[in-house]
Amino acid sequence: MSSILTDHQKMYSNGRWVEAISGQYIEVMNPATGEVIGSVPAGDRPDAAAAIDAADKAFKPWAGKTPQERSDYLYKTYEKLVERADEIAAILTAEQGKPLQEAKGEVLFAAEYFRWYSEEAKRVYGETIPAPTPAKRLMVIRQPIGVVVAITPWNFPALMIARKIAPALAAGCPIVLKPAELTPLTAIAIFQIFEEVGFPAGVANLVTGVGSVLGPEFLENIKVKKITFTGSTAVGKYLLKGSADQMKKVSLELGGHAPFIVFDDADIDAAVEACIISKFRNAGQTCICSNRIFIQDPILGLFSEKLAEQVKKLKMGNGSAEGVDVGPLIDERALNKVHEHVQDAVAKGAKLVTGGSKWKADSLDGSFYLPTILRDVDDSMLICHEETFGPVAPLISFSTEEEVLEKANNSNYGLASYVFTNDLGRAFRVSEGLESGMVGVNDPLPTVAQSLFIGWKESGVGYEGGKYGMDQYLEMKYISMLLNG
């Protein structure tokens, strides 16, 4: 598997490793060092069309397998992902930058989705419905939707693939995966596992390439019945509009701008620790990471001091090095955006508690940004409205529940929110009042394979995870039977 980091790679279509028809490649960089670490085929529309054809041919036989048979393929995938977690984590860190331990955690988490959906494959239940006349029998059954295109982002190169592909395959849908062009090597490692597990040809296909080149094929090809996407809101809107012509089903997991609310009755040390996890994991490049940190007035000073103490201890560096907590940002563009947010906030009156600049180590040519804390942040600043996607913690003060709910809900996004309090009534009131799909109460890591992942407002359409995730790949069908005599 390690050869993935040295060779010209291939895509996987109809059970074979293939080059792009054009023979062109896209280089993959290590964001910590700036070095090229591999290359993948620059797939174009005909490559995507071939993979979609293969998936379409595989649909009926795959859907026709018994749930237990599909379950077995998924369970074997789970086992192999766990077995290879270290190898895949090294690839993931090399192309994405996150610390090796986080990368391994991600691979194991991805494996969990295969385990969970290996079970769920067996529970595609229908329903019988009491009829209005004695002569009728009514039932609702659920059937796989057909060929699914999954488009995934670079911030979780393994997890996002698993959360989409595992339920689709479990439901009986073949898939065509288009991973992010910045992190396609982890996808290749996962497809090597699919090959070893022996999925029938065409059930799982991988097309690498540039999103804007392949997008039109996914939208216009009539054989694609469903598009599931995680990425930017802008591309999500493009896919939603583009899918209207054929009424393709879509699931979109888009950006977030999570409020992280700490009340003065909370356990402050636990909230600080949670803030470090929520804000600095993956260098702040997660769609559910806290982007606006609301602290109740009486504890603002103490929280800020304690947070700064912890943030200063975070070790930056190449994610593959021992003991590193914060790796590089994905690229120069991301780095400049983060710096722009910080400069804008400072220019408008925010105080820099720590950090606030790009970081350079002698031996590394990557895109690093110092873990940063800003105080006195307010609504006039860019950081309060746009996703920063970087290691910057903006602290905003508030006094009452009503005030913080209004501020927290003042966003077009509605993905995750976090509330820290030891007051049970407040925990319920605030969780219920937040306009977001997910709320972590004293919990910085709410996402699990067993439960729902959902965005409200411009954060998404549809949902993933748990028993709910299967719905997105199944159509309901109503059958009414009139009995003879």
Q: Which residues are at the interface with ligand ADP (CB under 6 A)?
A: 151-154, 178, 180-181, 211-212, 215, 231-232, 235, 238
Tell me whether residue 335 or residue 408 sits nearer to ligand ADP (CB atom): 335
Tell me whether residue 141 or residue 382 sits nearer to ligand ADP (CB atom): 382
Q: In the complex, what is the shortest distance from the CB of residue 301 to ligand ADP, in angstroms, rounded to a whole number?
A: 35
3-state SS class at 298? helix
**Tally of CA atoms within 13 A in the half-sphere of 184 that contains its CB:** 28
Q: In the complex, what is the shortest distance from the CB of residue 97 to ligand ADP, in angstroms, rounded to a whole number?
A: 14
CB neighbour list of residue 391: distance below 8 Å, 6 or more residues apart: 279, 280, 283, 284, 326, 338, 355, 369, 370, 371, 372
Strands 204-206 and 175-178: parallel
Q: In the complex, what is the shortest distance from the CB of residue 155 to ligand ADP, in angstroms, rounded to a whole number?
A: 7
Q: In the complex, what is the shortest distance from the CB of residue 293 to ligand ADP, in angstroms, rounded to a whole number?
A: 22
Q: Measured between alpha carbons, how far is 311 from 429 in angstroms, rounded to an integer?
A: 31
Residue of 95, 120, 253, 464 marked catalytic: 253
> 155: how many CB neighbours lie within 10 A of its CB?
26
Which residue is it, tokens 């597990």?
Answer: 197
Which contacts qualify for 404-408: CB closer than 8 Å, 24 or more apart? 404/259, 404/261, 404/294, 404/296, 404/430, 405/430, 405/433, 405/434, 407/259, 407/292, 407/294, 407/379, 408/259, 408/261, 408/292, 408/294, 408/434, 408/435
Q: Cα angle at 270 between 269 and 272, to 5 degrees? A: 65
CB neighbour list of residue 301: distance below 8 Å, 6 or more residues apart: none
Element (H, E) at 459: none
Tell me whether residue 41 or residue 172 sits nearer to ligand ADP (CB atom): 41
Asked if 287 is an active-site residue, the reply is yes
CB 201 within 8 A of CB 123: no
Residue of 120, 181, 275, 287 marked catalytic: 287
Q: In the complex, what is the shortest distance from the CB of residue 145 to ligand ADP, in angstroms, rounded to a whole number?
A: 19
CB neighbour list of residue 137: distance below 8 Å, 6 or more residues apart: 128, 131, 480, 481, 483
Q: In the complex, what is the shortest distance from the CB of residue 67 to ligand ADP, in angstroms, rounded to a whole number?
A: 30
Which residue is it, tokens 């996914």?
Answer: 218
3-state SS class at 366? coil
Asked if 384 is an active-site residue, the reply is no
17 pairs with which residues across the strands?
12
Closest CA to 72 of 169, 177, 168: 169
Q: In the complex, what is the shortest distance from the CB of residue 282 to ligand ADP, in angstroms, rounded to a whole number?
A: 12
Classify residue 87 as left (phi > 0), alpha (psi -120 to 50) or beta. alpha
Q: In the complex, what is the shortest distance from the CB of residue 172 to ligand ADP, in angstroms, rounded to a whole number?
A: 25
Closest CA to 258 of 393, 101, 450: 393
Tell me whether residue 133 or residue 212 sits nearer to ligand ADP (CB atom): 212
CB neighbour list of residue 80: distance below 8 Å, 6 or more residues apart: 193, 196, 197
Strands 147-151 and 175-178: parallel
Supply the residues annotated as catalytic.
253, 287
